[in-house]
Amino acid sequence: MAKTPSGKNTSGRGQRDLKVKVKTARGRKLSSTRWLQRQLNDPYVKRAQAEGYRGRAAFKILELDEKFRFLVPGARVVDLGCAPGGWCQVAVKRVNALGEKSGKAVGSVLGIDLQEVEPIAGAEIHQLDFLEDDADEKVKTWLGGAADVVMSDMAAASSGHKQTDHLRIMMLCETAAHFAFDVLEDGGTFVAKVLAGGAEGDLQKLLKQNFTKVAHVKPPSSRSDSSEKFVVAMGYRGGRAAPEA
């Protein structure tokens, strides 16, 4: 039987359509009305509010970790472009950054972003451009060593042109991957958002040369009408690239 993100069964007969409908107000664009209506009816938005997450994106990293198990107690995690903070919130719980899991190793979570981010219990947040020349050294200093996980839900500002936006986010993802190469521990994991659109080949080749396992996944909480997917690269080779096939 089908279940919603809340775990409730929705397959019974006679249930009313409880969707919220939003009228287009004077001065508001139709696209804005559609976005608002989608938000009001999105079960992941409601669940995020109920569970105290800063956005529905938290469930994407939750679902990815359920599948691949990279956010383990004791892990040191870097969240690139961490605003508004949902991924950091998930990581804090999973790596036991607050030491709430008795008998488990205590991890650490470092979030960095261009903009100021509201504090998150258990996470260390810094306002930093990860493209700066010494950003990798700053991150390792703040972490107290190399990272076990580098994750990114970053997206380049939309231009409104699909192909341009695809190339921009792929370039951003490749740059994040190179940053990960500088800060990851041997055996570490890189997780990042990508967009389907035909320019993923170079990134996949790069990751396969530097990690033992690379997977592309669309988690259930990623909207079906979105072209986003996530790449999960595990087993960082520590700069020892695999031989060409």
List binding-site positions for S-adenosyl-L-methionine. Answer: 85, 87, 113, 129, 153
List binding-site positions. Answer: 85, 87, 113, 129, 153
Please give the pLDDT value at position 41: 59
Are 44 and 110 part of one and the same domain? no
| 87, part of any domain | yes
Handedness of CA 228, 229, 235, 237 (dihedral sign): negative
- Active site positions, annotated: 193
| 6, part of any domain | no
| 80, part of any domain | yes
Are 90 and 182 part of one and the same domain? yes
Are 40 and 102 part of one and the same domain? no
The whole-angstrom separation of Cα 222 and Cα 237 is 29
Full residue range of the structural domain in which residue 141 is found:
55-236
Please give the pLDDT value at position 155: 78
The whole-angstrom separation of Cα 227 and Cα 205 is 20
- Which of 51, 71, 91 lies at the terminal end of a domain, its last residue? 51
Give the pLDDT of the chain (245 residues) as one tens digit per residue: 444 465 544 444 344 444 555 445 555 554 555 544 555 556 878 888 888 899 889 999 999 999 999 999 999 999 999 999 999 999 999 999 999 999 999 999 999 999 999 999 999 999 999 999 999 999 999 999 999 999 999 977 667 777 777 788 889 999 999 999 999 999 999 999 988 765 578 899 999 999 999 999 999 998 887 888 999 999 999 866 665 55
Are 47 and 124 part of one and the same domain? no
Question: pTM for the complete prediction?
Answer: 0.80
| 170, part of any domain | yes
Are 39 and 69 part of one and the same domain? no
End-to-end CA distance of the chain: 45
